[in-house]
């Protein structure tokens, strides 16, 4: 018997067609959303341009098509060399705060457990949990535990971990500052360095620690050059990397000629690559005017730069000024929050707080460090620095410049930092002056919208809409404990 199946009606056909079209539209919309998210956070390909100086304003970055400032609160640089550190959890925490930078040491420098009185130091891996660019040999005798290193053999596990870390960071929109070298502050660091003669089977590095980062270091220089070339080659296709020549080269006998040589090695290695990465140089603790800037260097790093004189002194170089390490001001949040706001509102483009709450077993930033720790960190400070990042990203900062002349505090000693887009927008930070500050603002006539921002929470504490006839505008802040920020924007007529 034939089965009789009723034909669908014209109405039913029309409904099916409309449902199919609707489904296609939904799928296309989802695809567009996924593509946009991928463009912002996906791991880069060889065709992606690395983070660069913004061509409109080289005091800032251009990253994945957007003007960028780098603000973060990061672990003590051992995320790759310390095999016990579970970095996906750490990177997730940075991403959740909106942070977009992490600082990473290569492994040529490692610390012992007692270094700088740091509890649970990520730069001090447990015995046999330290990994670096060079493979272990079959010969026992490494001072830090386990076999010596073979400086003529790369460790594939290290480079796999390094590239995975950078890729995982890239997926989260996080830039990696790859720090190639660090001075040996004392014999305790030199004694466990893989490139000290007693720790490698070649016997290379038979010299005082103060000669290790100079051009008079014998066969060690070739080992250093090879390491630089290897790391730069391995990371060539990542868009979320820049290289720092050496952390704090003003200690341990590091010479300028050697730094210039390493910068040239990076540059020469990348000369035939499709894209080149930025090079950073650490200038000093605090502030110092740069007299002879290396033309290969695009980022000038300072540590503990409060007050932010380093920005004012070097702004005319038209390159990025960075404060990429904090510490030694106790463990409370206040000094590190205020250092960040000072620096960014003075015209800096990088602020990296060294955060001791990130440790092995506490990669989510929950370690409660002791009072003797040489710095701060933790969730409360991370919220405060996240507020700073959200604040500055609320402006067209690439078209702004530091200019404090037209804003004065009345009746107190508050320090005022201003980024101005004259006649359009003003980002103002008031450091000190509690319980409140009255500002005298010499700005053009117009209608202005003012938002007073709580620097502890990022919330708006007070809104003001004012019509200004020109001359000096008086604005009174809400009450605050230590500092407050102001977003002042001229409204369209």
* 10-residue mean pLDDT series, the chain (493 residues): 43 48 46 42 59 99 99 99 99 99 99 97 98 99 98 99 99 99 98 99 99 99 99 99 99 99 99 98 99 98 99 99 98 99 99 99 99 99 99 99 97 95 98 95 98 99 98 98 98 90
C-alpha 132/C-alpha 222 separation (Å) is 17
Residue 4's pLDDT is 40
User: Cβ neighbours of residue 275 under 8 Å, at least 6 residues apart?
Assistant: 48, 49, 50, 236, 239
> Can you give the residue ranges of every domain in the chain?
52-398, 403-490
Residue 387 Ramachandran class (φ > 0 left, ψ -120 to 50 alpha, else beta): alpha
pLDDT (0 to 100) of residue 9: 52
pLDDT of residue 60: 99
The one-character DSSP state at 286 is: S
- Report how far residue 109's alpha carbon sits from residue 126's, in angstroms, rounded to the nearest whole number: 15
Q: Would you state the pLDDT for residue 45? A: 42
Phi and psi at 20, nearest 5°, equal -65, -45
Whole-angstrom Cα Rg for the chain: 26
* Domain 52-398 fold: TIM Barrel (3.20.20)
The CATH number fitting domain 403-490, selected from 1.10.10, 2.60.40, 1.10.8, 2.50.20 = 2.60.40
Strand partners, 431: 415, 483
Q: Residue 55, class by beta-carbon neighbours within 10 Å (0-12 exposed, 13-18 middle, 19+ buried)? A: exposed
């Amino acid at each position: 018997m034939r089965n009789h199946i009723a034909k669908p009606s014209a109405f039913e056909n029309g409904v099916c067609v409309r449902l199919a079209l609707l489904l296609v539209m939904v799928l296309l919309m989802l695809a567009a959303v996924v593509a946009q998210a991928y463009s912002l956070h996906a791991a880069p390909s060889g065709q992606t341009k690395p983070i660069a100086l913004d061509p409109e304003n080289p005091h800032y970055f251009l990253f994945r098509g957007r003007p960028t400032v780098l603000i973060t609160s990061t672990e003590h640089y051992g995320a790759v060399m310390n095999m016990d550190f579970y970095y996906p959890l750490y990177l997730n925490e940075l991403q959740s705060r909106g942070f977009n930078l992490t600082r990473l040491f290569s492994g040529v420098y490692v610390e012992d457990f007692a270094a700088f009185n740091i509890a649970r130091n990520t730069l001090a891996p447990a015995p046999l949990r330290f990994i670096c660019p060079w493979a272990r040999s079959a010969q026992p005798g490494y001072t830090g535990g386990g076999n010596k290193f073979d400086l003529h053999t790369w460790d594939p596990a290290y480079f796999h971990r390094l590239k995975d870390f950078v890729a995982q960071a890239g997926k989260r929109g996080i830039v990696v500052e790859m720090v190639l070298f660090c001075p040996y502050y004392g014999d305790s660091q030199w004694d466990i360095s893989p490139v000290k003669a007693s720790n490698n089977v070649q016997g290379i590095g038979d010299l005082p620690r103060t000669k290790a980062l100079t051009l008079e270091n014998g066969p060690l220089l070739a080992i250093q050059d090879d390491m630089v070339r290897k790391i730069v080659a391995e990371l060539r296709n990542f868009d979320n990397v820049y290289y720092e020549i050496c952390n704090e080269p003003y200690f341990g006998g590091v010479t300028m000629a050697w730094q210039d040589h390493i910068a040239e090695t990076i540059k020469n290695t990348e000369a035939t690559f499709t894209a080149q990465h930025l090079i950073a140089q650490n200038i000093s603790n605090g502030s110092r005017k740069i007299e002879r800037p290396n033309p290969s260097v695009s980022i000038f790093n300072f540590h503990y730069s409060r007050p932010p004189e380093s920005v004012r002194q070097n702004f005319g170089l038209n390159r990025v000024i960075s404060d990429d390490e904090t510490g030694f001001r106790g463990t409370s949040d206040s000094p590190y929050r205020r250092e960040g706001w000072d620096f960014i509102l003075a015209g800096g483009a990088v602020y990296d707080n060294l955060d001791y709450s990130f440790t092995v077993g506490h990669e989510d930033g929950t370690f409660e460090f002791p009072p003797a720790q040489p710095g701060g960190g933790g969730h409360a400070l991370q919220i405060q620095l996240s507020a700073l990042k959200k604040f500055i990203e609320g402006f067209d900062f690439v078209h702004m410049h530091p200019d404090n002349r037209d804003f004065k505090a009345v009746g107190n000693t508050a320090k005022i930092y201003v980024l101005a887009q004259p006649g359009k927008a003003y980002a103002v930070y008031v450091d000190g002056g509690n319980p409140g500050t009255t500002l005298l603002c010499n700005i053009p006539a117009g209608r202005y919208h003012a938002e007073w921002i709580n620097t502890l929470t990022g919330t708006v504490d007070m809104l003001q809409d004012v019509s200004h006839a020109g001359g000096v505008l008086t604005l009174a802040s809400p009450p605050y404990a230590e500092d407050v920020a102001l977003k002042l924007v001229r409204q369209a007529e």
